[in-house]
Structure 1
Amino acid sequence: MGNDSSLATVEITVHPTIFPRAGYGVLAFLMFINALFSIFNNFLVIAVTLKNPQLRNPINIFILNVSFSDLMMSLCGTTIVIATNYRGYFFLGKRFCTFQGFAVNYFGIVSLWSLTILAYERYNVVCQPLGTLQMSKKRGYQLLGFIWVFCLFWAVVPLFGWSSYGPEGVQTSCSIGWEDRSWNNYSFLIVYFLSCFFIPVLIIGFSYGNVIRSLRGLNKKVEEMGGKGNPEEEFRAVIMVLVMVVAFLICWLPYTVFALTVVIDPALNISPLAATIPTYLSKTSPVYNPIIYIFLNKQFRECAVEFITCGQVLLAKPDEEISTSAAPAESKTPCKINQVTPV
């Protein structure tokens, strides 16, 4: 009798399992690797940029902004997902779920719009070098202010009832409740993805398409004047732009497709595992953004190697070292002054 009463007082909490326990372990490990590389890469970009004033030109402040927002997305999103996947459910409560969804959404679209403005400003520099919209520090900071305020609006409105934040996929991460079947949510998703996906894609496509066309036209003019074009540089620029656009689409297109599929066909049943794939793809952007936009650039790479090795390893060419040997010591800098651009 005594044993029965003691057993009756024991509360057993059973959390719903919609994914194999081993699967949660794999997701936790993948997110750990993701967090490790994204935090290191973006911290390195920020540290090197702040250490080298020659890298802080008006266009590169957008790359610095991308790295900062990607770093915050990793710290506020990916690190939390490691713990929740390890436990097999979102154990931190509703408020923390809302916080994570808000943070990932906010910093994610700040990064996205920073890349968009960066693409457009590169178009201005390459295709309209004598235009009136040349980048200046004042214009750069104005655009940064616009990005943070504009993206804040789209991150805040779900907190006031237009859509919402909640668990998604296998229920170990939180984001906009795109799986919610309601007209309130549908209207938000349509306007949200028009503003934060389709318009950026059009701007990026237009900008980089014109950059490539401008480079081709420049090569043709050089050849017509009897000079020798640079097809290798043109090819490198084309490949770089393709990598940027493909990486951008890999990150955001699956998420957009799944969310809008719910709007188009509300009766469609999406499995938790399938719903998780676009979520985790979007969390990979902080890893490859620094690699694509920064580390593949020669000037930044020289500064980064110098920073990591505390000046023990320099990537400057011998002729560059000779040319600077006569310069005063305070004016020497192994990494060259240039814009960190892919072309």
Structure 2
Amino acid sequence: MFLNAAFSIFNNLLVILVTMKYPNLRNPINIFILNLSFSDLLITLCGTTIVISTNYHGYFYLGEKFCIFQGFAVNYFGIVSLWSLTILAYERYNVVCEPIGALKLSTQRGYQGLAFIWLFCLIWAIAPLFGWSSYGLEGVQTSCSIGWEERSWSNYSYLITYFLTCFIIPVAIIGFSYGSILRSLHKVKIEEQGGRSNKEEELRVVVMVLFMVIAFLICWLPYTIFALIVVINPTLYISPLAATLPTYFAKTSPVYNPIIYIFLNKQVRS
């Protein structure tokens, strides 16, 4: 977790500083990338750095209130990152596939998108504070998150709804957007070259998209599967170590998000 925090803080701070330094990077679509880095940095500062200390002590020694704060912060900033990736995919689809009919992404529309992301995600983050599910210790008891191991109908209903709005819908939008982008680019390449496609360039785009989708699934799929297992089979015993792994996978996203979405970007590299 120390290595996770070190790489995450370095990568995301670098993205934020570079974006702030060069005005040409502050275009509407990069607003979402900057937002992604900001929320990923907050995940690390409010979650991972705390876990380093509690892992060292061997238990969550900071008390119940701090546990609730950590669970809320990691949940909130985590789904902000998730929906930033989703809106980013959709806006890229608009730029590539709907250049004429789509509403152009202006700075104002970009900020409206950010407002939607932060307010929408806040609803899901504060719900456990008001009794719909809860925040508590997880796994090996050194970190806190949504109490997805809790066996109650309140928790089950929250997890099912959370699964639909914060996994199924984002995955569907991302899959549709990047799938449409690949088909559109393939069609354009063939038209430009008289029926022949540039296989090398097309392969590069395919690999880039695959990296994005696979990284997204590595981060969120284990967490989702474990939460659904609890709902489907409430009597199943899950060992503390097994219950910890999904949350650690989710905490790796701030490390590889900047690499995939920023450093593989030609404009940012130049």
| TM-score grouping bracket, smaller chain normalisation | over 0.9
Give the corresponding residue for 1:10.
none
Residue type at the aligned position of 1:214: S
Give the corresponding residue for 1:296.
264
Give the corresponding residue for 1:155.
125
Aligned residues: 270
1:287 aligns with 2:255: yes
Distance, in Å, in 2 between the alignment partners of 1:60 and 1:74 is 21
Q: Is the radius of gyration larger for structure 1 or structure 2?
A: 1
Distance, in Å, in 2 between the alignment partners of 1:212 and 1:55 is 24
Q: Relative contact order: is structure 1 or structure 2 higher (C-alpha 8 Å, sep ≥ 6)?
A: 2
The alpha-carbon deviation at position 89 of structure 1 amounts to: 0.3
- Tell me the alpha carbon deviations over residues 286-312 of structure 1, each in whole angstroms, 9 at most, x when there is no partner: 00000000011222123xxxxxxxxxx
Match of 1:67 among 37, 40, 43: 37
**1:176-325 equivalences in 2 (<5 Å):** 176-224=146-194, 229-302=197-270
1:79 aligns with 2:70: no
The alpha-carbon deviation at position 231 of structure 1 amounts to: 2.1
1:104 aligns with 2:74: yes
The alpha-carbon deviation at position 147 of structure 1 amounts to: 0.2
What is the aligned-residue identity percentage?
A: 74
Give the corresponding residue for 1:128.
98
**Native 8 Å contact 2:89 2:174 kept in 1:** yes
Which sections of structure 1, spanning at least 5 residues, go unmatched? 1-30, 303-343
SS in 2 for 1:167: strand
The alpha-carbon deviation at position 224 of structure 1 amounts to: 2.4
1:41 aligns with 2:29: no
Residue type at the aligned position of 1:81: V
The alpha-carbon deviation at position 230 of structure 1 amounts to: 2.5
Match of 1:167 among 130, 133, 137: 137
Distance, in Å, in 1 between the alignment partners of 2:108 and 2:180 is 25
**Native 8 Å contact 1:65 1:114 kept in 2:** yes
SS in 1 for 2:137: strand
**Native 8 Å contact 1:106 1:152 kept in 2:** yes
**Native 8 Å contact 2:94 2:102 kept in 1:** no
Distance, in Å, in 2 between the alignment partners of 1:132 and 1:54 is 23
